[in-house]
Amino acid sequence: MIVDYHMHTARCGHARGSVEEMVQAAARKGMQQVGIADHAPMLYADIPMLAMSPDELPGYVDEVLKAREKYRDLIEVRLGIEADYHAPTQAERQAMLEGYPFDYIIGSVHVLGDWIFDNPADVGRYDEIDLDEFYLEYIHTVRDMAESGFYNIVGHPDLVKKFDKRASIDLIPRYRELLEAVVRAGMCYEVNTAGFNVYRAPSEDGPWEKINQRLIPGSPDPLRGGSYVFTDTNVLAGVAYWYELEEVELGGRATRLERTTATAKGQGFGSLAGLPCTGGLSLLLVSGLGVVVAGRRRRPHELS
């Protein structure tokens, strides 16, 4: 059964549409169930573009419950909410939400210390920090959230890569520990990557052209990823090409990842530079780990 449990409305400041419009769109797509999960008041900050205000919460719940009743014969509507995990304000947050009949609560970490690290207005702070320590602190905080027992779903657990700032250390052991905590808590773990596109250019300066006709599906295992080969058949032997991988999230947001270069080689005897390469140029794609490799292995990003 296809469902979507992480849907925001215009109320949270960074989405469009009303609850009814979301429900109607889900029904048109043939979904049997849809969950509305607007962003709860943050409590540690008041930024209208990031979350609803406290006085909007009752109206949000009422709107979803009315839509559930109105469309009950067409689609099942579930009442959810995305709520931050922030230790200093956690008691206030839980008291605020416990009085409502939520079917589920998505837990997410957007703030570390006094820094809302996914706010575009504060992206400059990434240049001032140790990225490895930042990633470790984030994963530790998400684990604390899972162990709090208050949430049902871990929301976008790879949010730290929003601005393509990457750690240099191997994070897989840390994410395994996080997943073990999620399993112990009986929670769900949200996966956002829909797939990948491959771009090619004659030089690193471009112009860049998408060369896959359809989105390349991401690995069903977001932690381990999966390796497979994409073959570029429109190349000339002896010519060097640049390639770049683009990650596409389920919500449509796209992020360009690492670049690499490779030279196409002809097959068999008598292959000449400048002639079509009959076998094509094969690219090793490490899906779920976010890197395109052509001609040589390079270090993949730890998680996408």
What is the rounded distance in angstroms from the CA atom of residue 115 to the CA atom of residue 119? 9
pLDDT tens readout for residues 217-276 = 776 544 445 565 778 878 888 888 999 888 787 666 677 777 888 887 754 333 333 334
3-189: CATH superfamily = Metal-dependent hydrolases (3.20.20.140)
Q: Find tokens 């559930």 and name the residue.
A: 68
Q: Find tokens 């109320």 and name the residue.
A: 11
Task: Single out the residue of 137, 236, 225 nearest to residue 178, CA to CA.
Answer: 137
pLDDT tens readout for residues 109-149 = 999 988 999 888 888 899 999 999 999 999 999 999 999 99
Asked if residues 274 and 237 have their Cβ atoms less than 8 Å apart, the reply is: yes
**Chain region(s) in the chain for CATH 3.20.20.140:** 3-189
Strands 291-293 and 216-217, bridge-based pairing:
unpaired
